[in-house]
Amino acid sequence: MKFLSDNLAFSTHPADFPAGFAPLATLPLVILVGLTGVGKSTVVAGLQRRVPFTLLPNRRALTDDTIIAAMQTEAGRPVQLETDRLKRFEYTARYRQKYPGGMAHALSRLALRQDAARQPVLFDGLRGRDEVWHAVELFPAARFVVLDAPDRVRLSRLLTRNDAFDRVEGQPGLAG
């Protein structure tokens, strides 16, 4: 088991969660669904100003802390932040091959400390049909909010985002 914070635990064996932690699969989550650049983070920021809730780490953080870390460990490599976008894609593709559902599977391996959770509990970051179908099965009490935006809007947001991993090894940063 690995603690991602004082209030959030990750385990490949959910039966190992400590007392006082509730598996996310048992909670009434609100899960934002949408492709990169549709505005999920913008929605979360707007909600934070108006509505009390518990926000789980975003997709990027969980990818680093759970999916990429698991694949690095499995490959016998040291666990470290991977900033090369192509390597990130390779790690996440291997994870999805091993664990269908990808991020939905990783999310199902998390537990939240019950006395720290303010309802609703919100996750920003499922993408694609496979992840959503798996999440529907893994999180029966969840509600899903699907966001969409025209490709031109998404591209505009992506070009100005400046993500830390917007680079490919041997090439200058893609985001500017």
Q: Is 16 helix (H, G, I), strand (E, B) or coil?
A: helix
Per the DSSP assignment, residues forming a β-bridge with 28 are none
* The CATH number, out of the four listed (3.40.50.2300, 1.20.140.10, 3.40.50.300, 3.40.50.1100), of the domain defined by the range 2-159: 3.40.50.300
- pLDDT tens for each residue of 67-92: 999 999 999 999 999 999 899 999 99
| Whole-number percent of the chain with pLDDT over 70 | 91
How far apart CA 122 and CA 58 sit, in angstroms, is 10
Distance (Å) of CA 167 to CA 12, 84, 88, 154, 175: 30, 5, 11, 19, 8
Q: Would you state the pLDDT for residue 94?
A: 97
In the predicted model, is pLDDT for residue 173 greater than 60?
A: no
Domain residue ranges of the chain, discontinuous segments joined by +: 2-159
- pLDDT tens for each residue of 99-119: 999 999 999 999 999 998 888
Q: Would you state the pLDDT for residue 170?
A: 60
Q: Kindly state the average pLDDT of the residues 35-40.
A: 86
How far apart CA 131 and CA 35 sit, in angstroms, is 12
Per the DSSP assignment, residues forming a β-bridge with 139 are none
In the predicted model, is pLDDT for residue 138 greater than 60?
A: yes
Q: Would you state the pLDDT for residue 162?
A: 66
**What are the DSSP calls for 20-40, one per residue?**
TEEEGGGS-EEEEE--TTSSH
